[in-house]
Amino acid sequence: MKHGFIRVAAATPVIRVADCGYNTDKIIEIIEQAVKQEIKLIVFPELCITGYTCGDLFLQDTLLRGAIQSVKKIADYTKGLEPVVVVGFPYVVKDKLYNTAAVIQGGKVLGLIPKLSIPNYTEFYEARHFTSGLVDPIQINFLGEEIFFGSRILFQNSDMPDFVLGVEICEDLWIPQSPSIGHCIAGATIIANLSASDELTGKDTFRRELVKNQSAKLVCGYLYADAGEGESTTDVVFAGHNLIAENGTLLTESTTFMNEVIVTEVDLGKLKSERRRMHTYLGQNTNPYQVIPFSFREENYELPELTLLRPVDSAPFVPSAKADREKRCRDIIHIQALGLKTRLAHINCHCAVIGISGGLDSTLALLIADKAFELLGLDKKGIIAVTMPCFGTTDRTYQNAIELSKCLGVTLLEIPIREAVELHFRDIGHDKNQHDLTFENSQARERTQVLMDIAGKYNGFVVGTGDMSELALGWATYNGDHMSMYGVNASVPKTLVRFLVEYFADVTTDRKLSDVLMDILDTPVSPELLPPKDGEISQKTEDIVGPYELHDFFLYYILRFGFEPSKVYRLAKIAFANRYDDQVILKWLKVFYRRFFTQQFKRSCLPDGPKVGSVSVSPRGDLRMPSDASASLWMKELEQL
């Protein structure tokens, strides 16, 4: 509830065909359990009060009266309860029978939604009994109350205004112009679909993708409740395939043929954030909708903070499934390489200059340059890899840089910069034994000068190596490693850089190259600007700015969805529960916000670079942010946590 999370369920009760009393009892049993689980919306299958497979029994007055009494019994049971309950039943309006969904909450039937699309092909013959529903709502008397009946009805919660429910029934989803399209354009954030989709071989895959794609297209939560065991098997079998999706992601689904209740949370805050940034999303629907307000409680209501059932991935940039991760790596590598290839071809350049340190970022940049030259059919000797050892260089990273260059067959230049930097220290009056920011930045800027001048000498250009995580934190020397002619890693987060390099190591047939890459992966992340201790790296980046896995997590939810600090903190506590304690997470979250706001000036003048994922810090693309914006609102919220 807090932070926009709402717990929802799709349920398939075991029913008896035409036994309204039995079916109603089973529905109420599920509602009872839903209340205990703090579920706020529960959706049941199409015609679940009677059963979908009643056939000509739908023409019997006894069945129809029994169905209405069942709706009344369910409504009476919900008095004083919070959940919105959506159940299916047959209902007659003006002598026409409609396949109907009743939306019930707090002891009241809030509205009735008829099915619009009545299938009458292959195994379906609904048109024998049912009439296509009314689109525009009309007022009818139902159980002594004046309520609305029609498709264009939305139900909005006054305690949680982002909870706006729209309803469609089974076939309505499968047609080109689904009612849910209009519902969401009019403001619905969650769509409930009451369904009786019989099971055929392969149909589960199609159904799953259909629900996922509809939720993605409409940027909504989509609950699909399917009929299951208990329906007649005279001609077809129903598997109870329940699905809950959110903006293209399947949050949970039932095991088919099991009549399950599936439960998770839909993140309404994420949906609203996504719609806000998509300015083409709303405002194109001129059709009037009837909005029915409701509340969870009559008195002042505080939204509880649920213990989330939905998983929170600690590495949102990195797919957990190996096959998905490998595909993402392949795609990103092609995007990076194609971007660099196109730039080289455009300016007719046959030379790329890269500063290599033996670290992850420069390794990935060199591998991408190698791929781009391969696509262009250029001699790999046109890639000039420059190693520039200085005060902090360790033998391990130095040797890895050399071996990597040899394995790839590129031109290797070794240009020590110690003497040049020491001369610069003398020029500006800096004590070389004072290991401060000047000590570090002087090395970074000297390296950039060397690279730029080599590029000028050989008619080439400098390929940048810095990644998106470093840019978000401002962990780059202004006009030093911050600058290049094309930043191939500019939108690749550090956590993903590791997997990209690992992917290269896995797919190469060169055992020596693979061994070098694996050793680079095992090397601590460091700018190597301070002198080593006993030959080992003394300056570890993550000890200074914090763990990159935390910062990438923060970066994703802050930039991708605009979440407030308290929500990011809450999600991080769940995602990293077994790795970091709460105070450590909060400490580095404060560091992230502080650095992110103060370092925008570096991002405002970034070189070109390809966007590879859903998040970027490019000033020409995703992040148009003033360099002098204040972080006080965000920091104040952090201090109150």
Q: What is the pLDDT of residues 367-376, one digit of tens each?
A: 999 999 999 9
Catalytic residue among 20, 26, 40, 46: 46
Distance, C-alpha 251 to centroid of its chain:
11
A 10 A CB-CB count for 97 gives 16
Greatest Cα pair distance, the chain, in angstroms, is 100
Question: Quick one: pLDDT at residue 284?
Answer: 58
Question: Quick one: pLDDT at residue 65?
Answer: 98
The string of pLDDT tens digits covering residues 571-617 is 999 999 999 999 999 999 999 999 999 999 999 999 999 999 999 99
Tokens of 115: 């099915």
Question: Quick one: pLDDT at residue 539?
Answer: 78
**Parallel/antiparallel/unpaired status of strands 138-142 and 108-114:** unpaired
- Assign 3-class secondary structure to 394-441: CHHHHHHHHHHHHHHCCEEEECCCHHHHHHHHHHHCCCCCCCCHHHHH
- Is 115 a known active-site residue? yes
* Coil/strand/helix, residue 52: coil
CA–CA separation, 334 and 342 (whole Å): 12
How is residue 133 annotated by DSSP?
A: P
Q: Is-contact 46 90, C-beta < 8 A?
A: no
Tell me phi and psi for residue 358, to 5 degrees.
Answer: 90, 5
- Is 231 a known active-site residue? no
Catalytic residue among 20, 48, 54, 170: 170
CA–CA separation, 183 and 179 (whole Å): 6
Q: Give the Cα-Cα-Cα angle 512, 334, 459 (nearest 5 degrees).
A: 80
Pick out the chain residues at pLDDT < 50: none
Question: Quick one: pLDDT at residue 283?
Answer: 58
CA–CA separation, 458 and 279 (whole Å): 46
Residue count (the chain): 641
Question: Quick one: pLDDT at residue 300?
Answer: 65
257-262 contacts at long range (C-beta below 8 A, 24 or more positions apart): 257/199, 257/228, 257/229, 258/228, 259/12, 259/13, 259/14, 259/228, 259/229, 259/230, 260/11, 260/12, 261/9, 261/10, 261/11, 261/12, 261/30, 261/33, 261/34, 262/9, 262/10, 262/11
Task: Supply the pTM of this predicted model.
Answer: 0.92
CA–CA separation, 375 and 383 (whole Å): 14
- Is 494 a known active-site residue? no
Catalytic residue among 26, 115, 371, 602: 115
* Coil/strand/helix, residue 100: strand
Question: Quick one: pLDDT at residue 54?
Answer: 97
**Alpha carbon of 56 to those of 53, 129, 147, 260: distances in Å?**
9, 7, 28, 28
Question: Quick one: pLDDT at residue 279?
Answer: 77
Report the chain's terminal Cα–Cα distance, integer Å: 18
Question: Quick one: pLDDT at residue 171?
Answer: 97
What is the average pLDDT score of the chain?
95
Who contacts 416 (Cβ-Cβ below 8 Å, separation ≥6)?
388, 389, 390
Residue ranges and CATH numbers for the domains of the chain are: 2-294 (3.60.110.10), 322-639 (3.40.50.620)
Q: Give the Cα-Cα-Cα angle 384, 388, 393 (nearest 5 degrees).
A: 135
Q: Is-contact 162 4, C-beta < 8 A?
A: yes
Tokens of 497: 């850089």
State the residue for tokens 């002891």.
Answer: 107
